[in-house]
């Protein structure tokens, strides 16, 4: 899953793709590099980020979703928590709803169910503005597992097919480095809940703390954690650096799952 930020204050792009044309071009490049889905987000969820009014979020993402849905050979994911944006993006041709609130905000579950789209349900403790203040868990893996299981059941009860659900532990969303590492080690337990696991570790601040590197120098760390996550059972990797991530995953697959590697055999 390639990340396409259309925010002026995004995590790692500094809003470089806030311009719609540049965003569309970047999405096409990510697909050329091997992305199987493009995640379009117009509301920064960076710790401490302010909330974006619905009109502003729609103005940022809708033209991009509309254009990409018509021109990309892969599905467009809409990264949002707002029912209005879910509905509008679905009408514009989006193929997946990626919600860091796991459809807990008023009206979101109903909007997602009515869209008929697959959903990614992510765990987050607290809300983006305050989540990194003092994350606390008695047992982070068990608590995230129980949360994801409960949200999966809530979605099924609302009419979303089991086959259309993806789960995500939400690395960095109300978690210390120790919590993130426990979740990485505990991924096999989360995978056992059933639905495929999506992980987002690309360029995240934990990598910065563990390596001492600024956001533009976190590629190697991101690749290492992507491979660790896949080894733990993750099925979808959300990444900014798609070409490099695809190479790393392809080589990992050649070693551990030769059948999946497919072509490219040489003597
Ligand atoms: C994640 C995410 C972000 C993640 C899912 C960033 C929108 C922060 N992180 N969605 N979104 N999982 N599903 O660093 O980990 O890109 S925003």
Atom 12 in ligand 1: residue holding the nearest Cα: 200
Task: Note the pTM of the prediction, 2 decimals.
Answer: 0.94
Between the CA of 264 and the centroid of ligand 1 the distance, in Å, is 32
Indicate which residues carry an active-site annotation: 204, 238
198 φ/ψ angles, rounded to the nearest 5 degrees: -105, 140
CA atoms within 13 A on the CB side of 157: 7
CA distance 4 to 126: 24
Q: Can you tell me which atom of ligand 1 is nearest the CA of 45?
A: 17
Q: Which of 174, 238, 241, 242 to mutate to test ligand 1, by most ligand atoms within 8 A of the CB atom?
A: 238
- Taking only the tens place, the pLDDT of each residue in 91-125 is 999 999 999 999 999 999 999 999 999 999 999 99
Q: In b/e form, how buried is each residue of 124-146, taking b as 16+ CB within 10 angstroms? A: bbeebeebbeebebeebbeebbe
pLDDT band for position 24 (50/70/90)? very high
- Taking only the tens place, the pLDDT of each residue in 139-158 is 999 999 999 999 999 999 99
Between the CA of 200 and the centroid of ligand 1 the distance, in Å, is 5
CA atoms within 13 A on the CB side of 55: 0
Q: Which domains does the chain have, with CATH numbers?
A: 2-266 (3.20.20.20)
Judged on CB neighbours under 10 Å (0-12, 13-18, 19+), 149 is middle
| Residue 80 CA from chain centroid, whole number | 11
């Amino acid at each position: 899953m390639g990340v396409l930020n259309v925010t002026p204050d995004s995590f790692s792009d500094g809003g470089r793709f806030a311009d719609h044309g540049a965003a569309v071009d970047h999405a096409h490049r990510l697909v050329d590099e091997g992305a199987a889905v493009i995640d379009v987000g117009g509301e920064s969820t960076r710790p401490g980020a302010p909330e974006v009014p619905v009109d502003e979020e729609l103005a940022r993402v809708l033209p991009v979703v509309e254009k990409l849905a018509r021109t990309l050979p892969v599905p467009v994911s809409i990264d949002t928590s707002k029912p209005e944006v879910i509905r509008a993006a679905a009408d514009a041709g989006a193929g997946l709803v990626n919600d860091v609130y796991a459809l807990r905000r008023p009206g979101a579950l109903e909007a997602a169910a009515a869209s008929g789209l697959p959903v990614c349900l992510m765990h987050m403790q607290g809300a983006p503005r305050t989540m990194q203040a003092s994350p606390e868990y008695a047992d982070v893996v068990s608590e995230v597992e129980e949360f994801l299981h409960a949200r999966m059941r809530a979605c099924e009860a609302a009419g979303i097919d089991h086959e259309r659900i993806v789960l995500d532990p939400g690395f960095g969303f109300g978690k210390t480095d120790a919590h993130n590492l426990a979740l990485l080690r505990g991924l096999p337990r989360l995978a056992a809940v059933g639905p495929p696991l999506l992980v987002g570790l690309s360029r995240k601040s934990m990598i910065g703390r563990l390596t001492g590197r600024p956001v533009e120098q976190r590629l190697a760390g991101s690749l290492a954690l992507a491979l660790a996550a896949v080894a733990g059972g993750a099925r979808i990797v959300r990444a900014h650096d798609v070409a490099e991530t695809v190479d790393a995953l392809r080589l990992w697959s050649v070693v551990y799952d030769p059948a999946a590697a497919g072509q490219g055999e040489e003597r």
